[in-house]
């Protein structure tokens, strides 16, 4: 993996092209094969995480723009290199939610903090359940691209330009709120987001946080599931295949029951 890391850190730019795609594909493959071992010190991990985040943003901006102007937007979206990975992760997250007692449906409301310019998590959540989704991102470019993509797909959804720590979401509104893996780089930042959005959950609503485990921490920031306070941990999942993100499902810590269960 040492050479794969060197290749990623040495890339002259991160715009999608064969060289960039090959470097990151090689790194991801070797990370998946490495299991629970993370034999790198903090400076290397942080440097690789920053490169991965920047490359992911560039890739999503590129593909979102392509989808928005395509003659067949859905076919173009489905041709995104990691489309199947996102769909599979969405299915697993929905299964974890169902196991926790929340079954999303057409009357459900969901929000995604850090939805990005290519909001595939929200897209597949909507496609698989019919839930109405609100995209939230602190990047104006991400919100603009996501809005154009939604229009091209005839997908009715909401978009909010805001930091997850200060999004101003209405209280007692959402059945589930997702916090993306790149929303909040540290445990303290994750906790700030949780504290800010928790009131927007309906009673006993669910909070889904993505993390990473083992060698996958080279790609995404990680935190211990039990370290998040103010919510109750219900489900913890760590994939062992090509799906990268760990998933933690929490419950809003209220006594009253008001979540929409279908």
pLDDT, tens digit, 9 for 90 and up, residues 94-134: 999 999 999 999 999 999 999 999 999 999 999 999 999 99
The predicted-structure confidence for 193-215, as pLDDT tens digits, reads as follows: 999 999 999 988 999 999 999 99
Q: Does residue 261 surpass a pLDDT of 60? A: no
Count Cα atoms within 13 angstroms, Cβ side, for 210.
Answer: 24
Share of the chain above pLDDT 90, in %: 87
Residue 108: the pLDDT is 97
3-class DSSP assignment, residue 199: helix
Q: Does residue 247 surpass a pLDDT of 70? A: yes
Residue 262: the pLDDT is 55
Q: What is the largest CA-CA distance in the chain?
A: 54
Mean pLDDT (the chain) is: 93
Q: Which residues does residue 242 pair with via DSSP β-bridges, in sequence order?
A: none
Rounded Cα–Cα distance for residues 131 and 110 (Å):
7
Handedness of CA 50, 18, 85, 150 (dihedral sign): positive
Residue 257: the pLDDT is 45
Round to the nearest angstrom and report the end-to-end CA distance of the chain. Answer: 46
What letters, b where the CB count within 10 A reaches 16 and e where it falls short, cover 35-50?
Answer: eeebebeeeebeebbe
3-class DSSP assignment, residue 177: strand
The predicted-structure confidence for 21-70, as pLDDT tens digits, reads as follows: 999 999 999 999 887 777 778 899 999 999 999 999 999 999 999 999 99
258: confidence class by pLDDT, cuts 50, 70, 90: very low
Residue 256: the pLDDT is 43
């Amino acid at each position: 993996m040492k050479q794969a890391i060197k290749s990623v850190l040495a890339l002259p730019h991160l715009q999608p092209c064969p060289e960039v795609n090959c470097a990151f594909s090689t790194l991801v493959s070797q990370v998946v094969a490495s299991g629970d071992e993370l034999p790198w010190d903090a400076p290397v991990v942080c440097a690789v995480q920053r490169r991965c985040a920047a490359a992911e943003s560039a890739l999503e901006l590129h593909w979102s723009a392509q989808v928005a102007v395509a003659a067949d937007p859905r076919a173009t979206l489905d041709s995104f290199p990691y489309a199947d990975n996102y769909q599979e992760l969405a299915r697993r997250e929905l299964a974890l939610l169902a196991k926790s007692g929340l079954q999303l449906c057409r009357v459900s409301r969901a929000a995604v903090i850090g939805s990005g310019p290519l909001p595939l998590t929200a897209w597949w959540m909507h496609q698989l359940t019919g839930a109405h989704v609100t995209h939230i991102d602190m990047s104006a470019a991400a919100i603009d691209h996501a809005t154009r993509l939604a229009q091209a797909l005839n997908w009715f959804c909401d978009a909010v330009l805001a930091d997850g720590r200060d999004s101003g979401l209405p209280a007692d509104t959402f059945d589930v709120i997702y916090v993306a893996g790149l929303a909040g780089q540290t445990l303290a930042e994750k906790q700030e987001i949780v504290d800010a959005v928790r009131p927007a959950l309906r009673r006993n609503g669910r909070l889904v946080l993505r993390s990473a485990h083992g060698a996958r921490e080279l790609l995404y920031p990680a935190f211990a599931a039990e370290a998040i306070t103010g919510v109750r941990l219900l489900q913890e999942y760590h994939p062992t295949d090509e799906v990268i993100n760990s998933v933690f499902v929490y419950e809003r810590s209220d006594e009253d029951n008001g979540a929409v269960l279908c």
